[in-house]
């Protein structure tokens, strides 16, 4: 059936929006629930050749080959978030990481495994940039919200950290918001310490800072960890830059030698991921 020209013209803005490179203003929150990622299930998006959904790890923090494994946040589940989904500083003004995301006008198929450059617009991070890959989503996220995956950021509604790492029954710190001091990170598992310190060092303890954002090609250093690369869509999705980047540290804010070594090991081993129910629907805590 052929549609009248007037109808086609009326629908054109919707087609353009679906294909457009995402950008706008947004807000951030934080979480770390240790559950399998929504983008870790198969058939969520069209993948680049040789790529996979976001990887999950077993309780031993080693990547799983079964992308159909049930989330550890459900009874009998074995798939958890990998420790190398933690954020890390590339320089004093640039960092990489992962997030649960909802973008206005899009769907999970348009943002799963996409990367976004976040530029912070509120103190104390004004001008700093964080590039995140979307590994998760959630129906309880509002439009243009980036729920940053930061160890110790709060488990929210679902908690796989007690099963995976032996965390307290409501996770580390408050259920929503997580730990409140850098020293609280000292008791974390070694693989998560650097990511927890990141929040109080590079991130300066900021509480849900505002951002502007734009979709960008993922840095190869991020996709080397997640294993997920989208097929070309609104942009050329080919990963850019080196597949391994050093973790920037400065003075007293530097990670301990042990946690730094863990980060470097994880970069080489690859892996990642995050959370969702057995039906593949993302679950996220908002704070």
Cβ neighbours for 99, distance < 8 A, ≥ 6 positions apart: 28, 116, 132, 133, 134, 135, 136, 146, 147, 148, 149
Q: How would you class 36 by CB atoms within 10 Å of its CB: exposed for 0-12, middle for 13-18, buried for 19 or more?
A: buried
Longest dimension (CA), the chain: 68
Tell whether the torsion through CA atoms of 147, 151, 154 and 159 is positive or negative: positive
Q: Residue 132: in which H helix or E strand, if any?
A: strand 129-136
Q: How far apart are CA 178 and CA 69, in angstroms?
A: 27
Under a CB-based contact definition with an 8 Å cutoff, are residues 51 and 45 in contact? no
User: Active site residue: 33, 61, 147, 201, which one?
Assistant: 33
The number of residues making up the chain comes to: 287
For residues 145, 187, 80 and 148, what is the CA-based torsion angle, rounded to 10 degrees? 10
Catalytic residue at 33?
yes
Burial letters 124-136, b for 16+ CB under 10 A, else e: ebeebbbbbbbbb
Under a CB-based contact definition with an 8 Å cutoff, are residues 165 and 230 in contact? no
Residue 249 C-alpha from the chain's centroid: 21
End-to-end CA distance of the chain: 48
Write out the two tokens for 33: 């629930």
Query: Residue 24 region, left (φ>0) first, then alpha (ψ -120 to 50), else beta?
Result: left
The residues carrying an active-site annotation are: 33
């Amino acid at each position: 059936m052929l549609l009248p020209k007037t109808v086609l013209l009326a629908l054109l803005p919707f087609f353009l929006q679906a294909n457009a490179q995402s950008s706008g203003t947004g807000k951030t929150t934080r979480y770390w629930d240790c559950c399998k990622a929504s983008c870790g299930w198969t058939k969520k998006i069209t993948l680049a050749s040789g790529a996979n959904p976001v990887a999950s790890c077993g309780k031993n923090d080693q990547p799983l080959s079964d992308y159909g494994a049930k989330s550890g946040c459900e009874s009998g589940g074995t798939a958890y978030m990998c420790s190398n989904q933690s954020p890390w500083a590339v320089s004093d003004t640039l960092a990489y990481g992962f997030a649960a995301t909802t973008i206005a006008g899009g769907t999970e198929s348009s943002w799963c495994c996409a990367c976004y450059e976040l530029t912070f617009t509120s103190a104390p991070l004004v001008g700093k940039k964080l590039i995140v890959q979307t590994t998760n989503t959630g129906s309880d996220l509002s439009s243009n919200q980036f729920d940053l995956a930061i160890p110790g950021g709060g488990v929210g509604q679902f908690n796989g950290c007690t099963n995976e790492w032996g965390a307290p029954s409501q996770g580390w710190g408050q259920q929503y918001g997580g730990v409140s001091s850098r020293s609280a990170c000292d008791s974390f598992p070694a693989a998560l310490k650097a990511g927890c310190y990141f929040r109080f060092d590079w991130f300066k303890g900021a509480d849900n800072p505002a951002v502007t954002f734009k979709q960008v090609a993922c840095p190869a250093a991020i996709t080397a960890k997640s294993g997920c690369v989208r097929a070309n869509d609104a942009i050329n999705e080919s990963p850019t830059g080196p597949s391994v980047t050093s973790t920037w540290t400065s003075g007293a804010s530097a990670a301990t030698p042990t946690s730094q070594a863990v980060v470097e090991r994880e970069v080489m081993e690859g892996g990642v991921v995050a959370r969702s129910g057995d039906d593949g629907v993302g679950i996220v805590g908002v704070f």
